Amino acid sequence: MTATPASTQPSQGLVGQLLRFAAVGGVSALVDFGIYHLILALDAPTWLARAISFICGTTTAYFLNKRFTFGEAAGGRGRLAGFVLLYATTFGIAVGVNALALYLLPDIAFKASIAWVISQGTATAINFVMLRTVVFRSR
C-alpha cells in the first residue's frame, strides 16, 4: 500500500482548507500589518503604506497557500495568473476600504489599525472564496 499524497488526503476538504487558510492568513496578516505600521512610522502616506504592505502580505499568502492550503501540486502559470488577477482586484478593494474606513471612523486611538483590520477582513473573505472556487479548485 502506498502513501496518499498530501494534496489528496481527506483533510483537503472544506474544513481542512479553511483551517489552513486561516493559519496562513494569520501569518500573512502579521507580515502585512507589521509592514503597514513600519512604513507609517516612516511618515509615508497611508495609501502607500497599505499598498506596499498588501503586496508583501499577498506574496506571503500565495506561496504558503499554494504549498499548505491547497497542495503543492496546485500552481502553474494559469493558476499564478489567476492569483495575480484576484489579488490585483482585492488590492484595489483593500486600499479603497482602508481609505473609506479612515474617512468614516472618528479620530480615535488605533484608527489606522482599525481601518487595516476592516480592509483586511473584507479582502480575506473575498480571497478565500475565489481561491477555493476558481484559482486552486480541483481539476
Close Cβ partners of 31 (under 8 Å, ≥ 6 residues apart): 53, 56, 57, 60
pLDDT digit string (tens) for 57-107? 988 988 898 888 877 655 567 777 888 888 889 889 988 999 999 999 999
- Say if CB 32 and CB 120 are below 8 A apart: yes
**Grid coordinates in use for 98?**
482602508
Domain spans, the chain: 12-135
Average pLDDT score over residue span 2-26? 69
pTM of the predicted structure, to 2 decimals: 0.67
Q: Percentage of residues in the chain with pLDDT exceeding 90?
A: 40
